[in-house]
Structure 1
């Protein structure tokens, strides 16, 4: 028996020797290579046909449109400017600093303390006190003794001629407009107003009404407040409450100064109450 390859047809003849070769198995094995090649070729043709059909169908449904793009043609002449690299640029003139002239500060005229409360004019129910009502009463007897309210310090006898000038004011009360240095509350006048506002006990009043209580007091040489009086009382117990609040204040002021000496200084002050 000769050597035969299993891939050759002679091997099939040996296997089917003395057997019925008309049986289908012999024919299948004999034509196996041809059958396999034919099946492979037909499979490839089928896949290619299906792919081509799908491609053409998709192309017909969604045609690709190409929009032409107009590219503008720029017809512009470019001018080349020659630059001398060795030429030094012009130097700008130095800017001189501007001298700002500060105007002189305006002269501030001393005035009475004013409570910084802004209200509508139609809500005010109390009239503003007249100038004659803002003067502290002067206690004076026939012999010339007592407390005197004056604008400038005065010395002399009762029957003599009064003189004014750089003299000792003594125990007289000086108006706040006539002192060289105004009295000052420790921490500022806003702190004084804050104390009055937080300490003042407001009675039951109709809302949106504004009342003014005009008070006067004297700041002594040691800074204490004395002679606290109500000059204009709108009623409702507001005047008594204002006196109570000022009398409860134990903080001392810095006294007014005249000729470098502390003096007794008179103040008239409005206290504004707005009903809430």
Structure 2
């Protein structure tokens, strides 16, 4: 390269002076800056296109019409305890009349003439084994008969023995029901947010309502266990309902006679599939 051109020549031209520039290395280095610019502009345009496409897809996305219906969050008892028949009180003892005792009427002594005597006094021998009274009465001889004791009349009701409550059993009826943290409204909100309303339609369910009746146990510490479906309309609804109830938080346990007890609960969950 001429000395006069060295000062104004590009560094790349100086390096490749006298070499074979058509091989490709020279051209790659010569167009490097231009290719980097094109690559950055292309990447930026692609990212911008993806971003705009995502926004448009979300704006035109059709919302699902399927719903979850929690029937007024009514936790029904699994079954009602049968009412035991009351034991009738024993009949009162039959009334017994005291035995009649022979009584001889006492006649006060009075001095009169024999023809004026209307009722002669009883003989002394007869008075030895009979009672003296104001009337004459036939009966048994007075041989130390003791009259029966008169018992006070009661109500005729015998109090049944008190039965001790078994607080370790699973109660189906309690005085204070177990409760989800935050109450019934929070329970309905939890189910609506966590249940996937599209489960039945994704499994080919036709339009309609699909109700799952789920029973579960809340123990004395508020833990959930024994979650099972009493009804299964199919299309994955049973498994979805059981899964969501199992993963829920602890409950406030039920109370019976002031003590925390284990109770069984029941919940109806309805999946509603709408027509497209």
Work out which structure has the larger RCO, using CA pairs closer than 8 Å and 6 or more positions apart in sequence: 2
TM-score (norm 1): 0.39
TM-score (norm 2): 0.39
Question: Which structure has the larger Rg?
Answer: 1
